[in-house]
């Protein structure tokens, strides 16, 4: 066998079941989330009994277990006998428009009708008729709900559908990283929402260490992971954002380093080396989940960082800060070329705060003498990688829209 392929069938000396270390793995029991799971079940109980339930909105930072808890609850609901409720789980990173969401619902429950090129009105009426057939309740789970480009239209369509349904109904579960996302909705959409809200707190260091220890027991071979490695990975992730995905990625990458080492032991030293790369990967994944206008704003920052500012930028060592006003002007120019309407400066400031809260940018207020009082902004990660990440996503979306 050729040298590059020699190790393909070789057994790992570090990993026992590598998939267990993936953030997409759903364990049988989700640690430290019993209270949140109970709240989700409580909110859904009327719906599961066949009544029109309240909409549920779930908030929390990335890596706090929102999606895992929902998927866990869905799996348990699907095991229950004689349930009239039907569920559609929609990943809005993929199905990011009203048309795509409605088509996904049809694909889930009426596959013979799906992919026939029907318009929104035909799809909407088919869903209404399907619900009316036996008075079922449709639960639509919209994960990363704030990514949907025409979110006002989607929410209005789903909530107003209950007026057209004679027997049964539709309930929405929205999942978002941002508590404030509803503020961007049109008043008519907000007025149709009768919802319960649930906030997922970040994990602390002790909780993350317990989660990592539990996963490591299944994912790694026995006595391969040193306790100090687990504690350090947990501490680093807790200090960053309380993100369980980051903690898992750090430990998994440390395992990869150990795999290539002579000792084959996952040590704290390997965790230190893995941490920065894992944090960067999470950041670029996060960029892809940003709502459209936040994505365009951080794209403007990346372009200015690479192309240079019209004004003299404030530099601090190798760090370069750009004036907030110039970023806004660049953002307005980008939206214009895309034939989109830019958000107001008030929303721009709010989006900048959201981006800073997620650790994607850093800001500080200038003192007097630098064009008056202004906010100075810089990217926390490589502008080249941020630019490429966003462009790939934008071009994919553009091509997909042409097919609708």
Tokens of 306: 């690479």
- Which of helix, strand or coil describes residue 212? helix
For residues 44 and 382, give the distance between their C-alpha atoms in angstroms, rounded to a whole number.
43
Confidence of residue 1 (pLDDT cuts 50, 70, 90): very low
Are both 194 and 207 inside the same structural domain?
no
- Element (H or E) spanning 86, and its range? strand 85-91
Flag whether 151 is in a domain: yes
Tokens of 203: 């994990």
Task: Look at 291 and 258; give whichever has higher pLDDT.
Answer: 258
**Is residue 225 pLDDT above 80, yes or no?**
yes
Question: What's the whole-number mean pLDDT along residues 354-370?
Answer: 78
Give how many domains the chain has, as a whole number: 3
Q: What is the pLDDT of residue 161?
A: 92
Are both 52 and 195 inside the same structural domain?
yes
Give pTM, 2 decimals: 0.84
Q: What is the pLDDT of residue 332?
A: 97
Q: What is the pLDDT of residue 52?
A: 75
Non-local CB neighbours of 260 within 8 Å, separated by 6+ positions: none
Burial of 194 (0-12, 13-18, 19+ CB in 10 A): exposed
Least confident of 98-102, 369-373, 383-387: 369-373
For residues 349 and 327, give the distance between their C-alpha atoms in angstroms, rounded to a whole number.
11
Least confident of 63-72, 188-197, 364-373: 364-373
Question: What's the whole-number mean pLDDT along residues 46-54?
Answer: 82
Confidence of residue 189 (pLDDT cuts 50, 70, 90): confident
Are both 60 and 176 inside the same structural domain?
yes
Of 288, 309, 340, which residue constitutes the final position of a domain?
A: 288
Confidence of residue 311 (pLDDT cuts 50, 70, 90): low
Flag whether 135 is in a domain: yes
Of 237, 271, 288, which residue constitutes the final position of a domain?
A: 288
Are both 150 and 242 inside the same structural domain?
no
HSE-up (13 A, CA, CB side) for residue 155: 27
Tokens of 185: 């909705």
Are both 85 and 192 inside the same structural domain?
yes
**Is residue 369 pLDDT above 70, yes or no?**
no
Least confident of 28-37, 201-210, 229-238, 281-290: 281-290
Among candidates 93, 83, 16, 41, which has minimal Cα distance to 62? Answer: 93
**Is residue 17 pLDDT above 60, yes or no?**
yes
Over the chain, what is the mean pLDDT? 88
- Which of helix, strand or coil describes residue 299? helix
Confidence of residue 244 (pLDDT cuts 50, 70, 90): very high
| CB of 219 closer than 8 Å to CB of 17 | yes
Tokens of 211: 């989660």
Q: What is the pLDDT of residue 354?
A: 86
pLDDT in tens, 128-171: 999 999 999 999 999 999 889 899 999 999 998 999 999 999 99
Q: What is the pLDDT of residue 77?
A: 92
For residues 328 and 343, give the distance between their C-alpha atoms in angstroms, rounded to a whole number.
10
pLDDT in tens, 276-295: 999 999 888 889 888 889 99
pLDDT in tens, 323-360: 999 999 999 999 999 999 999 999 999 899 889 888 89
Are both 42 and 162 inside the same structural domain?
yes
For residues 204 and 239, give the distance between their C-alpha atoms in angstroms, rounded to a whole number.
9
For Cα atoms 201, 283, 397, give the angle at the middle one, nearest 5 degrees: 105
Residue 307 belongs to what domain range?
292-403
Q: What is the pLDDT of residue 184?
A: 76
Are both 60 and 182 inside the same structural domain?
yes
- Which of helix, strand or coil describes residue 303? helix
Q: Hunting for tokens 């006998």 — which residue is that?
A: 81
Burial of 175 (0-12, 13-18, 19+ CB in 10 A): buried
Non-local CB neighbours of 196 within 8 Å, separated by 6+ positions: 43, 54, 55, 56, 57
Flag whether 18 is in a domain: no
Are both 397 and 345 inside the same structural domain?
yes
**Is residue 56 pLDDT above 80, yes or no?**
yes
DSSP 139-150: EEEEETGGG-TT
**Is residue 257 pLDDT above 90, yes or no?**
yes
- Element (H or E) spanning 404, and its range? none
Are both 158 and 39 inside the same structural domain?
yes
Are both 58 and 123 inside the same structural domain?
yes
**Is residue 198 pLDDT above 90, yes or no?**
yes
Tokens of 368: 């007097």
Indicate which CATH number applies to the domain containing 210.
1.10.8.60
Least confident of 112-121, 276-285, 312-321: 312-321
For Cα atoms 21, 70, 95, give the angle at the middle one, nearest 5 degrees: 90
Q: What is the pLDDT of residue 397?
A: 57
- Cα maximum dimension of the chain: 71
Q: What is the pLDDT of residue 388?
A: 92
Tokens of 242: 């309380």
For residues 178 and 203, give the distance between their C-alpha atoms in angstroms, rounded to a whole number.
17
Residue 377 to residues 140, 326, 361, 362, 363, Cα–Cα distance (Å) = 38, 10, 7, 6, 4
Flag whether 267 is in a domain: yes
| CB of 110 closer than 8 Å to CB of 130 | yes
């Amino acid at each position: 066998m050729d040298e590059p392929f020699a190790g393909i069938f070789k057994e790992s000396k570090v990993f026992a079941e590598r998939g267990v270390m993936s953030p997409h793995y759903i364990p049988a029991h989700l640690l430290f989330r019993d209270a949140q799971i109970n709240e989700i079940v409580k909110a859904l109980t009327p719906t599961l009994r066949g009544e029109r339930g309240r909409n549920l909105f779930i908030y929390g930072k990335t890596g706090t277990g929102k999606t895992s808890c929902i998927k866990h609850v869905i799996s348990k609901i699907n095991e229950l006998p004689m349930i009239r409720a039907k569920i559609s789980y929609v990943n809005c990173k993929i199905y990011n428009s009203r048309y795509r969401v409605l088509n996904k619902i049809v694909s889930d429950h009426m596959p013979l009708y799906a992919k026939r090129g029907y318009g929104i009105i035909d799809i909407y009426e088919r869903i209404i008729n399907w619900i009316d057939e036996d008075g079922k309740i449709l639960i639509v789970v919209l994960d990363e709900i704030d990514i949907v480009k025409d979110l006002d239209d989607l929410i209005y369509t789903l909530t107003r559908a209950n007026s057209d349904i004679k027997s049964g109904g539709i309930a929405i579960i929205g999942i978002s990283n941002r508590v404030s996302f509803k503020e961007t909705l049109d008043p008519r959409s907000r007025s149709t929402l009768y919802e319960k809200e649930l906030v997922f707190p970040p994990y602390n260091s002790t909780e993350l260490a317990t989660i990592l220890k539990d996963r490591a027991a299944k994912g790694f071979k026995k006595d391969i992971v040193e306790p100090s490695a687990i504690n350090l990975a947990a501490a680093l992730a807790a200090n960053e954002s309380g993100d369980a995905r980051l903690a898992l990625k750090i430990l998994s990458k440390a395992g990869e380093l150990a795999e290539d080492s002579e000792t084959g032991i996952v040590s704290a030293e390997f965790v230190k080396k893995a941490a920065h790369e894992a944090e960067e990967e999470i950041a670029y994944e996060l960029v892809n989940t940003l709502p459209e206008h936040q994505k365009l704003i951080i794209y403007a920052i990346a372009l200015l960082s690479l192309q240079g500012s019209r004004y003299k930028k404030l530099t601090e060592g190798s760090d370069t800060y750009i004036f907030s006003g110039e970023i806004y002007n660049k953002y307005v120019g980008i939206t214009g070329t895309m034939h989109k309407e830019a958000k107001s400066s008030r929303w721009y400031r709010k989006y900048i705060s959201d981006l800073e809260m997620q650790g994607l940018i850093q800001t500080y207020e200038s003192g007097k003498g630098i064009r008056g009082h202004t906010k100075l902004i810089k990217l926390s990660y490589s502008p080249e990688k941020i630019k490429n990440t966003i462009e790939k996503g934008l071009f994919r979306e553009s091509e997909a829209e042409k097919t609708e």
